[in-house]
Chain A
């Protein structure tokens, strides 16, 4: 082996390590943002599959302002899912540097068709139009079964013995009544109804604040085609207001329907016991309703949990505001509901900083001020040569055509001059 090889290896290793150090140091050398803001109209997770409207993010380092994402998102960005079909999404953010200090503002939300959009500033993004709805899920109540033991609960030995001959007829009669009752109630659908649900935030150098607005918003359940209100959401909720709701109304609707069905369903099966039929029928009714209620008991638990005007402060001088964070809780899983999590109107502002004044390499005693984003328009290019689609791109296209004409004319002139010289 050559004695130079270890030396070479050492040199290569040193160069490699040096390069890594330089690479890792490079991001630190870039100008840091002094004012970031972002907005996301909607995030939704259905059955562990997330989708969102994309985020619109803006930041400035005092010299350059960068943006990413769209501030004109469409509902179609959420993909092909059946739960969310709101009409208007809004997400906007803006940043500025004034007297060397960064400031940021953002707003985001959803509303129905006909809502008007307002740019980020110190207000919300949307003037509500029509209402929109978001389905929080459809509950399947079909897995309810009545067995012989359900029917016999509470009867003494004598009555149990008396019931034995008719049990084979009672069980299917009871099961039929239960199915009839469940069919009449249908598959309850829980719906979020909203005029507008939106948040906004602003942040200065060391302060940040935010707010949410829920216009004409509430949760209701559709039972047998009828709307039954569960909860009305407040318009201006204080930060981090919790809302939970159960579906007790569904259980009540099922048991009401079941009692109606049972009065006729059991009569035939109990005919052989005419002498004691009233007493037995009452007890059987209670037993069947109890069996059904036991199986639908999770409806009485908290099925939906929401946080209104959810606010957190990820850093001093920064804020994240979500107008509505709503989840369908695991208790609903028994009813084949796709577990849903939806966040509407998420705005973030800050943390903002000061523009760092670096020493100019030329030691210029009067460096030019750093440009900030324009506060008013200074140019309005409102003229087109042709309407779009007619083959011309407007002023730019016209200029290009003009330049091409001039070039052809210059070429022609040069050619003519050359021809004259060749004659001379």
Chain B
């Protein structure tokens, strides 16, 4: 009697283990590997903010010795501060700036709309080999003095987790822009490799 019960228990255990092994094998086959190799971090080439119909080429720019980060002269493009983090990096911050043009034609003209409910908007940076998605978490309206005071926090590369800092101008007073609009966006997962055509 005892032997029969033991046999039945062992038989059930074996069947359970077989089913579990089968399930794990199927799950392993369906689920993407967590060990997938991440593409290398390279300079951004294209910025896309689909919800605002923003799409612009990205070119490298440099800060002047007196601390001015001028966007590219062509307002239809945006500039990536070439000493800031590359998309997909897990350190530093990716700093991108572009012109807002009062009469239109600036790559980042529509970004002003993020001031009202822009948190959560999706931003995508593509590089030669990868694609990094961000979500807007904060939209700041700063005076030039405030920007200078917070420059280390907003643009410094010693800390950070690879977030995107997008800067343009706002607050047109009839003759000039008085403030900066700073959009902070956090990485949504790791960068993914671009498919080569």
Contacts and interface: CB of A to CB of B under 8 A. Distances in A.
A402 B151 contact: no
Given A116-B42, A387-B103, A380 B75 contact: no
A121 B60 CA distance: 14
Interface residues of A, number: 31
B68 interface: yes
B65 A384 contact: no
B100 interface: yes
A383 B176 contact: yes
Nearest to A384: B101
Contacts, number: 122
Contacts of A379: 67-69, 144, 147-148
Interface stretch (A271-279, A350-358, A370-378): A370-378
Interface stretch (B104-112, B133-141, B189-197): B104-112
B175 interface: yes
Interface string A294-307: 00000000000000
Interface in A373-408: 373-388, 390, 395, 398-399, 401-402
Given A378-B148, A378-B151, A381-B70, A373 B102 contact: no
A129 interface: yes
Contacts of A377: 63, 67-69, 81, 95, 151, 155
Given A116-B128, A383-B100, A374 B65 contact: yes
B162 to A, nearest CB: 16
A118 interface: yes
Interface stretch (B13-21, B117-125, B164-172): B164-172
B175 A384 contact: no
B83 A119 contact: yes
Interface in A109-135: 114, 116-119, 121, 127, 129
Contact of A399 (B75, B144, B175): B175
Interface in A192-243: none
Interface string B91-103: 0000101111111
B98 to A, nearest CB: 6
B176 to A, nearest CB: 5
Nearest to B181: A382
Contacts of B42: 116, 127
B176 A395 contact: yes
A376 B102 CA distance: 27
B73 interface: yes
Contacts of A175: none
Interface of A: 65, 114, 116-119, 121, 127, 129, 373-388, 390, 395, 398-399, 401-402
Given A118-B43, A376-B156, A379-B148, 9 more contacts: A117-B60, A127-B128, A129-B128, A377-B155, A380-B68, A381-B70, A382-B98, A384-B75, A386-B101
Pick the 5 closest A-B CB pairs, nearest first. Answer: A383-B169, A383-B177, A377-B69, A374-B67, A378-B67
